[in-house]
């Protein structure tokens, strides 16, 4: 049997490889091998006080710590029956804008664009198109500055708590972000125009798209879980519709629908399901770039990220213009026994948390389902769909094309490697 083997994928977060087994000219086995060691976060959240959880879960990822903080805080608030104030909700959305900006700018320009432009890396892109990369770095830095201003630091912010924030960020410091955001909004609009000109490989997949949906806004921190297959569940019902399985070749669990099919979360799913809720300038960008939805080409998730970049800049400006902190920065917490689920839209897709706490506020059970774990079976299915074309290519080109597909997903392997409980049976 012939094989194509990529022992270590480059320009993805975490450690994984890719294996193609080929027999009689067709792919018989495709594996995204995730060998990054499991990190057992769910295990060591147990017997920790609930207020520690947002800071611990933030450490799961250096790119999307806010997503982990928000999903955990919201799940624990649901366990306690707490409702946060509109001001807290708005500040959470603003913080999330910062995370979308820094994460999407990194992926669009530094991770995926080099593939589409035939460059080996962003360094090569910087050598040939320095202005693009300079703008990318500035776009990203503005996102990091939002996080630093609200969260005290740009990576693993420390201001988020169950019930809201430890304190309101300074109003002047928040307002001072506006000039950069105005520049960033225009740069993001230009990014959409540029994104549609890139040469995307031909590949269309009939996905089941899954994302949070909110009738009044582009869903990020709350809403129902909507599927393009006409299935809508509340966040509390998530585990009735979506399950995780262990597979032999992966330290990350694999997500499936309850009926066993693959599905897609992330920017493509969000844009396809929620484009009607985009803000006016993001909608205009979509229209003027003649982007026809639904986008079904996984490589074109770059376009979806670019539109979301406009959305995040536009929303950040609106939220900052209205920012007028008043009242307490967090809700009062009355500890009681309970269980709650929370889901938010991390830059890479739906991030679900569920916790059970005892009457002292100690976590007794934790479940975290990251977006990459949900997408892994879909990535493998996409690779199978791509295989007939790949096998016509010289091996080096085939390998690169397969790697490009995986990178288009912006998988966060580090986030995804949690593990099933080990059961030892003695016979």
Partner 1 sequence: MKRVAVIGIGQRLRGDDAAGLEAIHQWRHRYPETANRPEVRTEALELAGLNLLAALENMDAAILVDAVHGPNPAGEIYRLREEEISSFSSDTKSAHGWGVAETLKMGRLLGMLEGVSICILGIQTGQMNPGEGISREVRGKILLLCEAIQAELNILLAQ
Continuous segment of H or E residues that includes residue 28: strand 26-34
User: Which region, judged by CB under 8 A, interacts with partner 1, from 25-33, 148-156, 353-361, 377-385?
Assistant: 148-156
Under rule CB under 8 A, residue 111 binds partner 1? yes
* Least Cβ distance, residue 63 to partner 1 (angstroms): 5
Choice from 2, 26, 59, 336 touching partner 1 (CB under 8 A):
59
Scan residues 2-31 and list those touching partner 1 (CB under 8 A): 10-15
SS (H, E, C) 222-259: CCEEEECCCCEECHHHHHHHEEEECCCCECCCEEEECC
Who's near 20: CB < 8 A, 6+ residues apart? 3, 4, 5, 27, 29, 30, 383, 387, 390, 402
Under rule CB under 8 A, residue 414 binds partner 1? yes
148 vs 226 by CB, closer to partner 1: 148
Residue at token pair 């094309």: 401
Under rule CB under 8 A, residue 80 binds partner 1? no
Under rule CB under 8 A, residue 127 binds partner 1? yes
Residue at token pair 């593990």: 419
Residue at token pair 């630093």: 148
Choice from 72, 144, 272, 277 touching partner 1 (CB under 8 A):
144
Under rule CB under 8 A, residue 33 binds partner 1? no
Choice from 93, 140, 305, 418 touching partner 1 (CB under 8 A):
140
What is the distance between the alpha carbons of residues 367 and 382, in angstroms, rounded to a whole number? 27
* Least Cβ distance, residue 145 to partner 1 (angstroms): 8
User: Which region, judged by CB under 8 A, interacts with partner 1, from 123-131, 214-222, 303-311, 323-331?
Assistant: 123-131
Tokens of 380: 């493998």
Who's near 182: CB < 8 A, 6+ residues apart? 317
Under rule CB under 8 A, residue 55 binds partner 1? no
39 vs 296 by CB, closer to partner 1: 39
Distances (CA, A) of 249 to 85, 126, 143, 377: 45, 36, 36, 12
Continuous segment of H or E residues that includes residue 113: helix 113-116
Closest by Cα among 144, 24, 29 to 384: 29
* Least Cβ distance, residue 111 to partner 1 (angstroms): 6
Interaction site with partner 1 (CB under 8 A): 10-15, 37, 39, 59, 62-63, 106, 110-111, 121-123, 126-127, 130, 133-134, 137, 140-141, 144, 153-156, 414
């Amino acid at each position: 049997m012939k094989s194509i083997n990529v022992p270590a994928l480059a320009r993805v977060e975490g450690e994984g490889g890719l294996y193609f087994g080929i027999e009689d000219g067709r792919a018989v086995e495709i594996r995204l091998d995730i060998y990054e060691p499991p990190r057992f976060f769910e295990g060591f959240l147990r017997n920790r006080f609930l207020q520690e959880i947002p800071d611990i879960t933030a450490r799961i990822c250096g790119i999307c710590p806010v997503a982990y903080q928000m999903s955990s805080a919201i799940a624990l608030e649901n366990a306690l029956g707490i409702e946060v104030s509109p001001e807290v909700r708005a500040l959470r959305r603003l913080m999330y804008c910062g995370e979308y900006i820094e994460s999407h700018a990194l992926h669009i320009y530094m991770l995926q664009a080099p593939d589409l432009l035939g460059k080996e890396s962003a360094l090569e892109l910087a050598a040939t198109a320095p202005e693009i990369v300079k703008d990318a770095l500035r776009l990203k830095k503005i996102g990091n500055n939002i996080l630093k201003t609200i969260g005290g630091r740009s990576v693993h912010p420390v201001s988020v708590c169950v019930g809201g924030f430890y304190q309101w960020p300074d109003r002047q410091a928040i307002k001072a972000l506006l000039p950069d955001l105005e520049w960033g909004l225009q740069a993001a609009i230009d990014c959409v125009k540029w994104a549609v000109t890139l040469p995307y490989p031909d590949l269309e997949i009939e996905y089941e798209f899954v994302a949070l949906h909110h009738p009044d806004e582009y869903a990020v921190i709350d809403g129902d879980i909507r599927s393009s297959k006409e299935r809508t569940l509340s966040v509390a019902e998530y585990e009735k519709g979506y399950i995780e399985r262990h597979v032999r070749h992966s330290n990350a669990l694999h997500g499936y629908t309850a009926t066993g099919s693959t599905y897609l979360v992330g920017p493509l799913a969000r844009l396809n399901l929620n484009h009607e809720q985009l803000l006016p300038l993001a909608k205009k960008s979509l229209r003027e770039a003649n982007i026809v939805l639904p986008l079904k080409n996984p490589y074109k998730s770059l376009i979806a990220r670019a539109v979301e970049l406009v959305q995040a800049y536009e929303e950040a400006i609106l939220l900052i213009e209205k920012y007028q902190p008043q009242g307490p920065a967090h809700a009062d917490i009355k500890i009681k026994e309970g269980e709650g689920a929370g889901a938010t839209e991390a830059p890479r897709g739906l991030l679900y948390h569920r916790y059970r706490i005892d009457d002292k506020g100690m976590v007794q059970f934790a479940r975290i389902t990251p977006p990459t774990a949900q997408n892994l079976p879909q990535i493998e299915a996409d690779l199978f769909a791509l295989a007939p074309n790949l096998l016509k290519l010289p091996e080096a080109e085939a390998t690169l094309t397969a790697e490009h597909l995986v990178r288009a997903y912006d998988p966060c392997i580090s986030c995804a490697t949690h593990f099933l409980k080990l059961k030892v049976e003695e016979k």
